[in-house]
Structures are given as structure tokens and as C-alpha cells.
């Protein structure tokens, strides 16, 4: 299966660029060395873009933790909130062909959650969101986003990359020209990927598509994308994957020898009991599909959701 190389926006400091307030960087090795082989980076540093120098005085979030302001730590009158919001809006307008964004955690500009806020009563609460990141999220609500600190968790990392590549396929569909048959085909090919995250979400999206003849295509497509990305955010987990693997193997049972079938069942059980990672039963199913092609199953993105070289399913 061919994967189109996604464009991924990333906080510049995570790519090893020395743009932080202290003139240093926060290079994320997996992002640069592994994911970087499969994606094209779009490096973005909002603080530098709004004209703050390197080095510069540190910033922090202050005030109402729901809607904090970004001010200089040592000169509280220096408020760059509006500049960061304007930068966020300007950048969001250029993200049409970008399939995801990885933000630097804990930054008053780029952090997605749990950023420290100094409240009016001089308490520090850790429920803030970076002002620039919030603006990007509000302008691009379906864009897959993640913080680098969460990419160190194997399941969260896989979840993000899965959303990144799915969103890229959506961008490709949009570029090629959205039509009712193409949208139905897109959904059919993502059925098992969706089931691995949210069987309910998969059913809901199927029901939504049954209204294709009655609703404006663009309106319905927007609703579909929102539901798709919401469903894929949900955790998959062994039980759901096992269920999907069983569904897929059910298609193959008629076509493969009895001895191969019992070996396949054994591999699925080994996965269910945590003896082998998800990559093993998936490879096994792929081999059978290669020998006994099935058009419907062979096109399922569940079996090839992103490049194998990322080895994400070796850790699930």
C-alpha cells in the first residue's frame, strides 16, 4: 500500500533549532530521527515569528486560567497575547495541506494542556493552554495535534501517527475531488481501522453516510471528518484489535488450508494473551491476503495504516 508523505507542522525547538528563550533547543530524537524519515516537517516558532529575539526573557501565562495572557516574567507589562493570537490565525490559514501538528509541551505559547498559569491570587495552577496553540486548535479543530511529551508513550504515539496518516488520506481525497462514491469508498476502506478505536463511531459514520442523497455533500463531509477524527482519538487496546483481527480472519477462513487456519488462530490467541505484539498477527494476515487475495479486505487501511518502518505496532 502506498503512503503519501504527510506534511507535519512542528514546534521548531523540537527539531533541534536553537530558538528557545535561553538560546537552546529541545530536540526530540524519535520525532527527528524516526518519524522524520516518513514526513516533511514544517518548522514553526511563534515567539520568533512575532519578533522576539533569541535569547529573550522568558514568558508565562497569567490571570484567568481559562483565558490567560502571555506576559514576560520579569516585565509583566510586556503582554504578547494579541501578537501570538494573530500569529496563530495567520499560520492556521496556511495549514490547509498539513496533516498534523506536534507542539512543545508546557510552553505558554505552544503547550496544549497542563501549562502553568500564575493566577491573580498568585497561585500556580497547571491547567493552562498555550495561547498560540489554542488559536491554531480553534481555527483547525480536526487537525491531529499532539505534544512531544506524550509521544514517549507507545500507545499515544501510535494513536497520533494513525490520525496523521488518516488525515493525510482525507486531504488526498479532498484534493482529488470529493464525490459521494469516493466518500463511500473512503469509509469502506477505513471500516476496520475505525472499529479498532470505536465500533460505535464506525456505526454512526455509516449511518451518516446513508443520508448522502438527502444532504449537501460538503456539509456531510465536514460532519464525517469531525466524527472520524473524534473516533480515532479513542484508545484502541488489545480487545478491540483482537475483535478486528478475528473479523478479518473470518474472511480468509474459506480460502486457506485448515492447517494454516489453526496456525492463524494460535497467532491471534498469542496476541490476545500478550505473548506477541500486534505487528505479528497483522503480518500473518497480510501474508494470507497476499496468497489468497480478497479485494475488500486487501484494501483495508487497518492492515497498512502507516509505513512499517515506524515499527509502531511492535510496541502494542
**What is the closest distance, in whole angstroms, from the C-beta atom of residue 296 to ligand SF4 in the complex?**
44
Q: In what order do the strands lie in the sheet with 40-44?
A: 40-44, 7-11, 100-103, 145-147
**What is the closest distance, in whole angstroms, from the C-beta atom of residue 135 to ligand SF4 in the complex?**
13
**What is the closest distance, in whole angstroms, from the C-beta atom of residue 134 to ligand SF4 in the complex?**
13
Cβ distance to ligand SF4 smaller for residue 13 or 205: 13
Cβ distance to ligand SF4 smaller for residue 23 or 250: 23
E strand or H helix at 125 = strand 124-128
Contact 54, 68 (CB under 8 A): no
Identify the burial level of 212 via C-beta atoms within 10 angstroms of its C-beta, where 0-12 means exposed, 13-18 middle and 19 or more buried: middle
**What is the closest distance, in whole angstroms, from the C-beta atom of residue 21 to ligand SF4 in the complex?**
7
Cβ distance to ligand SF4 smaller for residue 101 or 186: 101
Does residue 49 come out as left (phi exceeding 0), alpha (psi in the -120 to 50 range) or beta?
Answer: alpha
Residues that bind ligand SF4 (CB under 6 A): 11-13, 19-20, 45-47, 104, 107, 109-110
**What is the closest distance, in whole angstroms, from the C-beta atom of residue 46 to ligand SF4 in the complex?**
5
**What is the closest distance, in whole angstroms, from the C-beta atom of residue 250 to ligand SF4 in the complex?**
48
Cβ distance to ligand SF4 smaller for residue 14 or 245: 14
Sequence-ordered list of residues with C-beta below 8 angstroms from that of 38, at least 6 positions apart, any chain: 3, 5, 6, 306, 307, 309, 310
Task: Determine the distance from the C-alpha atom of residue 86 to the mean position of all C-alpha atoms in its chain, rounded to a whole number.
Answer: 25
Cis peptide before 55 (omega within 30 of 0): yes
**What is the closest distance, in whole angstroms, from the C-beta atom of residue 204 to ligand SF4 in the complex?**
36
Positive or negative CA dihedral for 152, 155, 160, 165?
positive
Angle, helices 199-209/217-233, rounded to nearest 10 degrees: 180
Contact 146, 167 (CB under 8 A): no
Cβ distance to ligand SF4 smaller for residue 62 or 109: 109
Cβ distance to ligand SF4 smaller for residue 30 or 296: 30
Q: What is the largest CA-CA distance in the chain?
A: 75
Cβ distance to ligand SF4 smaller for residue 86 or 154: 86
Amino acid at each position: 500500500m502506498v503512503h503519501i508523505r504527510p506534511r507535519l507542522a512542528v514546534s521548531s525547538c523540537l527539531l533541534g533549532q536553537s530558538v528557545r528563550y535561553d538560546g537552546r533547543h529541545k530536540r526530540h530524537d524519535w520525532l527527528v530521527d524516526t518519524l522524520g524519515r516518513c514526513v516533511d516537517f514544517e518548522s514553526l516558532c511563534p515567539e520568533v515569528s512575532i519578533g522576539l529575539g533569541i535569547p529573550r526573557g522568558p514568558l508565562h501565562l497569567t490571570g484567568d486560567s481559562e483565558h490567560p495572557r502571555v506576559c514576560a516574567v520579569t516585565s509583566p507589562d510586556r503582554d504578547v497575547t494579541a501578537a501570538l493570537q494573530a500569529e496563530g490565525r495567520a499560520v492556521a490559514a496556511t495549514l490547509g495541506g498539513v496533516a498534523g501538528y506536534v507542539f512543545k509541551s508546557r510552553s505558554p505559547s505552544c503547550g496544549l494542556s497542563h501549562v502553568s498559569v500564575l493566577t491573580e491570587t498568585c497561585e500556580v495552577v497547571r491547567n493552562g493552554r498555550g495561547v498560540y496553540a489554542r488559536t491554531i486548535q480553534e481555527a483547525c479543530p480536526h487537525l491531529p495535534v499532539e505534544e512531544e511529551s506524550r509521544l514517549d508513550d507507545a500507545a499515544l504515539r501510535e494513536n497520533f501517527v494513525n490520525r496523521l496518516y488518516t488525515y493525510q488520506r482525507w486531504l488526498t481525497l479532498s484534493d482529488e475531488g470529493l464525490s459521494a462514491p469516493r466518500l463511500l469508498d473512503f469509509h469502506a476502506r477505513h471500516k476496520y481501522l475505525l472499529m479498532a478505536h470505536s465500533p460505535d463511531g464506525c456505526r454512526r459514520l455509516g449511518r451518516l453516510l446513508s443520508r448522502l442523497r438527502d444532504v449537501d455533500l460538503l456539509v456531510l463531509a465536514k460532519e464525517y471528518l469531525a466524527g472520524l477524527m473524534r473516533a480515532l482519538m479513542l484508545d484502541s487496546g488489545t480487545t478491540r484489535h483482537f475483535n478486528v483481527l478475528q473479523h478479518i480472519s473470518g474472511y480468509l477462513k474459506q480460502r486457506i488450508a485448515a492447517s494454516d487456519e489453526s496456525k492463524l488462530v494460535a497467532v491471534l490467541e498469542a496476541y490476545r494473551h500478550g505473548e506477541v505484539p500486534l505487528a505479528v498477527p497483522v503480518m500473518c494476515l497480510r501474508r494470507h491476503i497476499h496468497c489468497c487475495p480478497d479485494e475488500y479486505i486487501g484494501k483495508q487501511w487497518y492492515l497498512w495504516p502507516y509505513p512499517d518502518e515506524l515499527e509502531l505496532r511492535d510496541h502494542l
